[in-house]
Amino acid sequence: MTDRVQKSERARKVLGKRIRRLRRRKGWIQLDLAFECGVSPAAISKIELGQVNAKIASLIKIARALGTDVARLFRGLPYATKLKH
């Protein structure tokens, strides 16, 4: 596994944990968040577990429902610097 793939996997897991933490702070279960943002409960679960690369549109909806923005969700993630395209 390449370093880039490992960083991507770590970033997905960190992002998922952040979303889970914010959701729990609101006292919501995954179903509540899914209802509030219009993203399926299954997608919320996979995002929180770091199993998928979430669509940016979904992350925007999730961030808004949680009272934050996407930039805050991504701040400091492992891949956020020195990405080559």
Please tell me the predicted confidence (pLDDT) of residue 85.
44
Tell me the CATH number at 12: 1.10.260.40
Residue 83: band (very low, low, confident or very high) from pLDDT cuts 50, 70, 90: very low
pLDDT digits (tens, 9 = 90+) for 14-60: 999 999 999 999 999 999 999 999 999 999 999 999 999 999 999 99
Cβ distance 47 to 18 under 8 Å?
A: no
Chain CA centroid to CA 12, Å? 7
And the tokens for 82?
């020195």
What is the pLDDT at residue 7?
81
Range of the domain at 21: 3-74
Residue 5: per-residue pLDDT: 81
Tell me, yes or no, whether 82 lies in a domain: no
Q: Residue 2 — very low, low, confident or very high, per pLDDT cuts 50/70/90? A: confident
Please count the structural domains in the chain: 1
pLDDT at residue 25, rounded to an integer: 97
**Burial degree of 31 (CB within 10 A; 0-12, 13-18, 19+):** exposed
